[in-house]
Structure 1
Amino acid sequence: MISLKRTTVTDPAFVELVSMLDKDLWARYPDKQGIFAPSNKLDERVQVVVAFSEGQPLACGGFRPTASTTEIEIKRMFVHPAFRGKGISRMILQELERWASEQHYTSAILETGIKQPEAIRLYETSGFTRIPNYGPYQDIEESVCMRKIFAS
């Protein structure tokens, strides 16, 4: 059985998973990952969800407020390779949306990359639509930016 834990960026399970995520991204985007590093820095404003099974961390994701008072940015979504294809990323994403909605946020933005078709598919099937690249991603052709308005 999979359980979800709302936590912070200092949670050891989250730190472990994000380390794996960073290695995965460096492998996919070796020439560009250094550009993304500043955008991936996490601070105490980031709220995190970690999925566990029998005490083992399986997946994570987080969100942080944007300059808008009604919008969040989804960050650091990752599923351990051994547990992919089981719907865990969708569970994480749905929990992040619920948590954000509880705090009166009404929409989310995110950035993913063209070499992550599984992530693009997850976001599209979860109601996200492509938008022009925003902020630090504006001139990065490998970036795919998306937005979702939460259901009322």
Structure 2
Amino acid sequence: MSRSQSVASNSPITSNVTITVETPLQDDVRTLVAALNSHLLPLSPVEFQFKMTVEQMAGEDTTVFVARDESGNALGCGALKIHGAHIGEVKRMFTLPAVRGQRIGAILLDAITQLAKDKGVTQLVLETGAVQGFDAAWRLYERSGFSRCGVVLDYPDSGHSVFYEKWLKQS
């Protein structure tokens, strides 16, 4: 998928939403990431929040997806970070509170998963929080075929994180 290619949604709820690979180094994406950081702040100790800055998200190993409405407003984001030849990590998943429940997170995650498959990733992993404020994220990941697993990558086993994995079949 190129940096400008769109992923159209087939869901009637999200029919006016476009998912596009974009640079995170733009004001509306910075605003989304700032909103995500603010959302996370009260949920876990800061030392156990593994945030990527927008500058880090702009690295060659990371692809950022942005969900936009028909007017071009940024509604959500998510990223795929590649770790070696066969492991990909879902990072920075977020949708604005006003559009939650409209499957935008699911179509972002579908786009991330498809790109991971296209890049030859066989194991997709992620880290998220371990308290009730993350229950919507847990449902999203589990509905998308992720299973809870032990510690992944170089994250600490702190009790403040929950880890998920999804094994991808290559076509």
Give yes or no for TM over 0.5: yes
User: Contact conserved, 1:8 with 1:46, CA < 8 A, in 2?
Assistant: no
Aligned partners of 2:62, 2:146: CA distance in 1, in Å? 20
1:86 alignment partner in structure 2: 102
2:52 alignment partner in structure 1: 40
What code does the residue aligned with 1:141 have? Answer: G
Q: Deviations over 1:36-66 (max 9, x none)?
A: 24x5342412100000002110010001111
CA, structure 1 residues 101+13, in 2 after alignment: closer, same or farther (shift >3 Å)?
A: farther
- Structure 1 residue 136 displacement after superposition: 4.4
- Structure 1 residue 11 displacement after superposition: 3.5
What code does the residue aligned with 1:21 have? Answer: L
1:95 alignment partner in structure 2: 111
Aligned partners of 2:101, 2:128: CA distance in 1, in Å? 18
- Structure 1 residue 28 displacement after superposition: 1.9
Q: SS of the counterpart of 2:145?
A: coil
Identity of aligned residues (%): 29
Do residues 5 (structure 1) and 20 (structure 2) align?
A: yes
Do residues 14 (structure 1) and 18 (structure 2) align?
A: no
In structure 1, the gaps of 5 or more residues are none
Over the residues paired in the alignment, what is the CA RMSD in angstroms? 1.6
Tell me the TM-score normalized by structure 1.
0.89
Report the number of matched residues: 148
Counterparts of 1:43-82 in structure 2 under 5 Å?
43=57, 44=59, 45-53=61-69, 54-66=71-83, 68-82=84-98
User: Contact conserved, 1:132 with 1:138, CA < 8 A, in 2?
Assistant: no
Structure number having the greater helix percentage:
1
In structure 2, the gaps of 5 or more residues are 1-15
Tell me the TM-score normalized by structure 2.
0.80
